[in-house]
Amino acid sequence: MDRDVTLANGARISHLDGKVELLTGGSMPLQEGEAMSQNGELVGSQRAAQMGLTPAVITVRPGAPAVLTVVPVPVAPAPVAAGAPSAIVAPAAAPVPSFTYQPPAPVNGKLKGVVELGASGFNSFIIRVDKQLNWKLEKSEFGNSLIMENLATDDDVRKGLKSYIGQMLDYGVGGRDIHFVVSSGAIMADVTRRIIGTLKELGYVVNTVTPEQEGALALKAALPPAFTGKAFVADIGSGNTKISWMQNALPKALDTYGAKYYQKGIADEAVARDVADNARQVPEALRQTCFIIGGVPYELAKINRQNKERFTVLSAPAAYTELPNAKTKAGVTIYKALSDATGCQQFVFDWDANFTIGYLLTMP
């Protein structure tokens, strides 16, 4: 060591003589073969090996300066109350690398807004976009209409829309620049037809999209132009998963099972097989990076996010354990199938991109 080291418990180790300066005052010399963890626990070398302890270790040898080796300290998980859902366990592997790409900011951009009627939510997004289609997310609102569970009523829709529209108008979005989109996953629910009818009764134009169109729109929003020739996009939704890429200057999109396939009693193996069959069609030259969006990737990215960065690199699928619910578990099954089939080593979650933003980018 070339400087003193302070442990997690506040004790300090002198780099000059390897002595531990205790919180109670005084000091304690470390003997040959002894180790001290980051939490201040002193263990002998044989005992450390028996315990499987691999902490931050101070190794002292007579006549030689102290040597510091920093490795993780095993920490027992906090107890979970009976009946409480467990959180996703943070990956224990090496720190995930950052993704430093910064998209160009819009210049003299215009505000546009969209309300999304999705398979698991009722959401709105406001972006600022310029003539070169550079865009920036200005505001987002996430609701919970639970369309697939048939819990949305006509009154829910009316109140939700009026609220979203009012917020957008107050923010400065022009009335003609507010759009409404029904996701392909939501279209599959019988109740959606009633909701679309309610929207039309209120005088709004409702835009529906097929899975292929949704995949192409996700590609438009999530794939940075700089990565057109070396990346693809995956959108793991509740109702379906879209895999898309640019092929001969045109968007190519495929769809497969979404994260709520478990509700239909479909086996994990069958889903993984279908996801893999689709993912293998991604050209090998585009498998360096996958820009991934959707509800389950969002949950995984929350673990890895460092600050408020736009892009967060996910850990490998196997790093996520003790998943809190069936939907997340199903989404990780899809994520693993994507990873195994493509061999992609870098899945980058985009905190701002959404297929409905891709729709806005197509509007004049």
DSSP string, 39-99: TS-EEEHHHHHHHT---SEEE--TTS--EEE--PPP-PPPP--TTPPPPPBPP-SSPPPP-
Asked whether residue 239 falls in the same domain as residue 203, the answer is no
Query: Which stretch of 138-152, 171-185, 192-206 has the lowest confidence by average pLDDT?
Result: 138-152
* More confident: 362 or 33: 362
Same domain, 219 and 196: no
pLDDT for position 204: 80
Short-list 64, 3, 63, 69, CA closest to 36: 69
pLDDT at 75: 40
Give residue 122's pLDDT. Answer: 75
Q: Which domain holds residue 133?
A: 110-208
Confidence of residue 274 (pLDDT cuts 50, 70, 90): very high
53 pLDDT exceeds 90?
no
Region 65-93: what's the mean pLDDT? 46
Q: Which of 208, 224, 254 is the last residue of a domain?
A: 208
Residue that terminates a domain, selected from 186, 208, 230: 208
Any domain includes 104: no
Q: Is the pLDDT of residue 37 over 60?
A: no
For residue 140, the domain's CATH number is 3.30.420.40
Q: How many domains does the chain have?
A: 3
Find, among 257, 239, 264, the residue nearest to 189 by Cα: 239
Shared domain for 335 and 223, answered yes or no, is yes
Q: 194 with 246, same domain?
A: no
**244 lies in the same domain as 317:** yes
Domain assignment present for residue 222? The answer is yes
Over the stretch 118-133, which tens digit does the pLDDT of each residue have?
766 678 899 999 999 9
Domain contains 362? no
Residue 157 forms part of a structural domain: yes
Nearest partner of 90 among 336, 314, 351, judged by Cα: 314
The answer to whether residues 197 and 219 belong to one domain is no
Please check whether residues 268 and 311 belong to one and the same domain. Answer: yes
Instruction: Confirm whether 83 is domain-assigned.
Output: no
Q: Are strands 231-236 and 240-247 parallel, antiparallel or unpaired?
A: antiparallel
pTM greater than the 0.75 cutoff: no
Domain boundary residue, one of 208, 233, 255? 208
Could you report the per-residue pLDDT of 222-240, keeping only the tens digit for each?
999 999 999 999 999 988 9
Residues 284 and 312 in one domain: yes
Whether 82 is in a domain gets the answer: no
pLDDT of residue 137: 96
For residue 58, pLDDT beyond 60: no
Percent of the chain with pLDDT over 90: 49
* Within a domain: 78: no
Distances (CA, A) of 150 to 67, 156, 208: 63, 12, 19
Distance of CA 342 to the CA centre of its chain: 19
Q: Does one domain contain both 37 and 159?
A: no
CATH code for the domain of 219: 3.30.420.150
What Rg value do the Cα atoms of the chain yield, rounded?
A: 26
pLDDT grade for 294, boundaries at 50, 70 and 90: very high
Q: Which run of H or E residues covers position 289?
A: strand 289-294
Q: Over 90: is that where the pLDDT of 68 sits?
A: no
Q: Is residue 92 part of a domain?
A: no
CA 9 from chain centre, in angstroms, equals 33
Do 304 and 181 belong to one domain?
no
Whether residue 271 is found in the same domain as residue 323:
yes
Longest dimension (CA), the chain: 86
